[in-house]
Amino acid sequence: MTISREDIEKVAVLARIRVDDEQVSALENDLGNILDLVDQLSAADTDAVEPLAHPLDAVQRLRPDEVTETNQREAFQAIAPATENGLYLVPRVIE
């Protein structure tokens, strides 16, 4: 697949970046190479390949789900500017 000079200039305008004429020709070659590589990857037969969530067979170590700290809500709310029924009150930001 090839990319045209007009495509590069259009993308540059949309991305709001300035691209010089000499950069356009270099980008034309580089982006063309990248698109050729993508075409090669797309042509690979992956029908018999099972999808992976991760390329390594890594297993996450799990810990028991248990409470390790004591409830200090009253202590924290004692220094809060405003609370009500165990909730922190904050100023309204949306009218």
Question: Does residue 19 belong to any structural domain of this protein?
Answer: yes
Q: 16: domain range?
A: 5-43
Question: Does residue 15 belong to any structural domain of this protein?
Answer: yes
Question: Does residue 33 belong to any structural domain of this protein?
Answer: yes
Q: What percent of the chain has pLDDT over 70?
A: 100
pLDDT confidence band for 7 (50 / 70 / 90): very high
Indicate the number of domains in the chain: 1
Q: Which of 5, 33, 31, 35 is nearest to 20 (CA)?
A: 5
Give the Cα separation of 39 and 32 in Å (integer): 10
Question: Does residue 17 belong to any structural domain of this protein?
Answer: yes
Question: Does residue 12 belong to any structural domain of this protein?
Answer: yes
Which CATH number belongs to the domain containing residue 20 in this structure?
Answer: 1.10.20
Give the Cα separation of 77 and 68 in Å (integer): 20
Question: Does residue 72 belong to any structural domain of this protein?
Answer: no
Question: Does residue 89 belong to any structural domain of this protein?
Answer: no
Q: Does pTM top 0.75 for this prediction? A: no
